[in-house]
Amino acid sequence: MRVGVIGATGAVGKELVAVLGKRSFPVTELRLFASTRSAGTRTHTPFGEVAIEAFTPEAARGLDLALLAVSGDFAKAHARALAEQGIAVVDNSSALRLEADVPLVVPEVNAGAIGAHRLIANPNCTTAILVVALEPLRKAFGLKRVIVSTYQAASGAGAEGMAELERETRRALLEGQSAGHEVFAHPLPFNVIPHIDSFQPNGYTREEMKVVWESRKIMGQPDLLISCTAVRIPTFRVHGEAVTIETERPITAEAAREILAAAPGVVVVDEPGANRYPMPLTATGRDDVEAGRIRANPVFGDHGLDFFLCGDQLLKGAALNAVQIAEGMRAGIEERRRAG
Amino acid sequence: MRVGVIGATGAVGKELVAVLGKRSFPVTELRLFASTRSAGTRTHTPFGEVAIEAFTPEAARGLDLALLAVSGDFAKAHARALAEQGIAVVDNSSALRLEADVPLVVPEVNAGAIGAHRLIANPNCTTAILVVALEPLRKAFGLKRVIVSTYQAASGAGAEGMAELERETRRALLEGQSAGHEVFAHPLPFNVIPHIDSFQPNGYTREEMKVVWESRKIMGQPDLLISCTAVRIPTFRVHGEAVTIETERPITAEAAREILAAAPGVVVVDEPGANRYPMPLTATGRDDVEAGRIRANPVFGDHGLDFFLCGDQLLKGAALNAVQIAEGMRAGIEERRRAG
């Protein structure tokens, strides 16, 4: 399969290439696209050395699959046109996620939504990490209310965000200077910034509303009562989420733990006595979302549950989920190749 | 007034001395007690140079006020005996906080509970920062449910915790080694640890249950439905708290903002358009608790509110609140001196 990664030099783009290799995706030709600044340089990949190209719609012709890890503006300009050329497109931006004709997919939750679609949206990182654990609980107990507080890593702001956290932490600790900032709205080292993406008229940020809008769409429960407080903290690439749910039917910690232990994409890390619970330290580089601190929350009588999630923002939160979607599109792609 | 600080070399003890000076507490004689290891060394204070003494009950005789910033075991062994000697005692440990005959006080909330008591407990840091904002909302709208997720600083584990965060961050960044840990259960740099204090049979940690038990006692609402997820993150001395409440009566963000703006001990920092919201960066060294990100939460219809708090763990979370309690005890102390 001729696979193109658009935005190949970014944090997510690099992970896409790595994940394609790790999952032995049937790549016959890998093409990497980035800004004209990077074009011409060569990079090592699991599929051999590849020259980076500047993207043009013409250059993309001939691809079977395009994985987009670029801006919403790019997606708006090019995603539908690529799909209309017959290319299977997975878009990582937020631009098309709520379009009625574009499925928004976390394969563990709604792989069936892929169908014969040629353009699929990859959800927000916090949302993907959340719903992979939420959906099995929803199936088993029904969901009435969901309240999420996040502990989000610098990688959500791309490779530049991670570099800024490292550089400014060094500056603060070594040079005794105040940490600076360009990527984030404030210095991130040893700080907490309750502000991710732009503020909306209702007082929530877009990041917080993405969790609301996208969770409802992916789980197919448009009336779900769900809210989020999205907070950036000084970690590199794993998002943490403190989740409180009120279920439709009674729930216990034991029953929830059993459900999550059997859920695809989730690994239960919940042995408090052994100091084992989800952490960025252990979830970094891990495909599965860690779920732990599972306990009944009496605030909702016998219908309440608390748990804590940690998921690699660049994997389940982005590249891994995108490649999983692409895997779900394979049959359709191969059929089109045969037909074409 | 003859004032003794017990545990004077710890993070809270040092802040107690600074806060006594900053608030011009009427200290005629300051005595500092610490472990025998530190005894004999001299230290500069706002009240002149003071020699550190080893604590014995006999050595404490003659104090009018004792501020205890030591362990629960110490408090159990000595706090009541000191009070029975006629010394006004403010204990910062958790040992006596839930005792029926020991008021647990955040002066902005329940200063009246001090009365003629000679032994007062200073609450858990997360709780103090929380209730100073929660109580005015409770008075205005009534509280039905409270859900808190915390972003807690290293200082909650004392000066050693802060030193470990700095030292291990350096080691990780500079020497390219894995960060180590002794104070915390896991390395803290660039990590998140959803584990503070010991685990209870119900799956919550003691830190989380302190927020439940102590908030109920301080606000005098023993049936309040409240839960907490307590998480340690790599910050130095400011605790953040994401709070969701369901109120008895309808609430709006505007009404809540007005109430909080008028509340003592709280400063509203809530101008999203100017990137102003509570952060450790701005709340460090600040007496008032910063409250912001105030918004109606539709998960609870027109009875829901979200907000974010940042409070200096060593000030409102410990030393400042203790000195405020001592100020509330002054009239009684002076009466006893005149009578004695």
pLDDT digits (tens, 9 = 90+) for B99-129: 999 999 999 999 999 999 999 999 999 999 9
**B127-314: what fold?**
Dihydrodipicolinate Reductase; domain 2 (3.30.360)
A232 CB neighbours in chain B (<8 A) are: none
Homologous superfamily (CATH) of A127-313 is Dihydrodipicolinate Reductase; domain 2 (3.30.360.10)
Query: Residue A135: what pLDDT?
Result: 98
Q: Which tokens hold the place of B140?
A: 């205005």
Q: Does B183 touch chain A (CB under 8 A)?
A: no
Burial class of residue A124, CB neighbours in 10 A (0-12, 13-18, 19+): buried
Residues with Cβ < 8 Å from A68, sequence gap 6 or more? Answer: A6, A7, A74, A75, A78, A79, A89, A90, A91, A92, A93
| Amino acid (one-letter) located at A1 | M
CA–CA distance, A212 with A145 (Å, rounded to integer): 11
Give contacts of B 230-269 with A, CB under 8 A: 231, 233-236, 238, 240, 242, 244, 253
With cut-offs at 50, 70 and 90, classify the pLDDT of residue A339.
confident
Whether A336 has a pLDDT exceeding 90, the answer reads no
Angstrom distance (rounded) from CA B302 to CA B252: 7
A277 vs B195, B278, B292: nearest CB = B195
For the segment A19-44, the average pLDDT, to the nearest whole number, is: 95
Q: How far is B222 from chain A (nearest CA, A)?
A: 13
List, for residues A240-276, the tens digit of each pLDDT value.
Answer: 999 999 999 999 999 999 999 999 999 999 999 999 9
Contacts of B292 in chain A (CB under 8 A): 194
Is A125 catalytic? The answer is yes
Report the pLDDT averaged over residues A193-205: 98
Whether B125 is a known active-site residue: answer: yes
From the list A169, A293, A297, the residue facing B194 with the nearest CB is A293
In whole angstroms, give the CA distance from residue B256 to residue B294. 8
CATH architecture of B2-123+318-339: 3-Layer(aba) Sandwich (3.40)
pLDDT of residue A176: 79
| Binding-face residues of B in 38-77 toward A, CB within 8 A | none
**pLDDT tens per residue, range A113-143:** 999 999 999 999 999 999 999 999 999 999 9
CATH assignment, A2-122+318-339: 3.40.50.720
Q: Of B170, B171, B192, which to mutate for an interface test with A (greatest number of A Cβ within 10 Å)? A: B192
Domain boundaries, chain B: 2-123+318-339, 127-314
Taking CA–CA distances from A203, the nearest residue in chain B reads B295
pLDDT at residue A91 greater than cutoff 80: yes
Q: What is the pLDDT of residue A302?
A: 98
Give the active site residue among A125, A228, A303, A310.
A125
- Which residues of A are documented as binding site for substrate? 152, 232
Chain B residues near residue A144 by CB distance under 8 angstroms: none
Tell me if A297 and B146 make a contact (CB, 8 A cut-off): no
Of A169, A191, A195, the CB nearest to B280: A191
Q: Using alpha carbons only, how large is chain A's radius of gyration in Å?
A: 20
B310 and B69 Cβ atoms separated by less than 8 Å: no
Residue B147 at interface with chain A, using a CB cutoff of 8 Å:
yes
**What confidence score (pLDDT) does residue B196 get?**
98
CB within 8 Å: B295 and A235: no
Query: Does residue A74 surpass a pLDDT of 80?
Result: yes
pLDDT at A35 over 90: no
Buried b / exposed e over B286-300, threshold 16 CB at 10 Å, is bbbbbbbbbbbbebb
- Assess whether pLDDT exceeds 80 at residue A340: no
Q: What is the pLDDT of residue A177?
A: 85
Tens-digit pLDDT string for chain B (340 aa):
999 999 999 999 999 999 999 999 999 999 999 988 888 999 999 999 999 999 999 999 999 999 999 999 999 999 999 999 999 999 999 999 999 999 999 999 999 999 999 999 999 999 999 999 999 999 999 999 999 999 999 999 999 999 999 999 999 988 778 999 999 999 999 999 999 999 999 999 999 999 999 999 999 999 999 999 999 999 999 999 999 999 999 999 999 999 999 999 999 999 999 999 999 999 999 999 999 999 999 999 999 999 999 999 999 999 999 999 999 999 999 888 888 6
Residue of B125, B228, B303, B310 with catalytic role = B125
CB of A297 within 8 Å of any CB in chain B?
A: yes
Q: How far apart are CA B173 and CA B24, in angstroms?
A: 42
CB A257 within 8 A of CB A268: yes
B226 contacts on A by Cβ (under 8 Å):
299
* B284 reaches A (C-beta below 8 A): no
pLDDT above 90 (res A209): yes
Q: What is the pLDDT of residue A251?
A: 98
Q: Tell me how far apart the alpha carbons of residues A302 and A307 are, in angstroms, rounded to a whole number.
A: 15
Label each residue of chain B as H, E or C. Answer: CEEEEECCCCHHHHHHHHHHHHCCCCCCEEEEEECCCCCCCEEEECCEEEEEEECCHHHHCCCCEEEECCCHHHHHHHHHHHHHCCCEEEECCCCCCCCCCCCECCHHHHHHHCCCCCEEECCCHHHHHHHHHHHHHHHHHCEEEEEEEEEECHHHHHHHHHHHHHHHHHHHHHCCCCCCCCCCCCCCCCCCECCCCCECCCCCEHHHHHHHHHHHHHHCCCCCEEEEECCECCCCCEEEEEEEEEECCCCCHHHHHHHHHCCCCEEECCEHHHCECCCHHHHCCCCCEEEEEEEECHHHHHHEEEEEEEEECCHHHHHHHHHHHHHHHHHHHHHHHHHC
Find the CB nearest B194 among A298, A304, A308.
Answer: A308
Q: Which residues of B touch A203 (CB under 8 A)?
A: 253, 272, 293-296, 306
Is A275 close to B186, i.e. CB distance below 8 A? yes
Predicted confidence at residue A240, as pLDDT, reads: 98
Please report which confidence band the pLDDT of residue A337 belongs to, taking 50, 70 and 90 as the band edges. Answer: confident
**Residue B282 Cα, gap to closest chain A Cα (Å):** 9
With pLDDT > 90 as the criterion, what percentage of chain A qualifies? 94
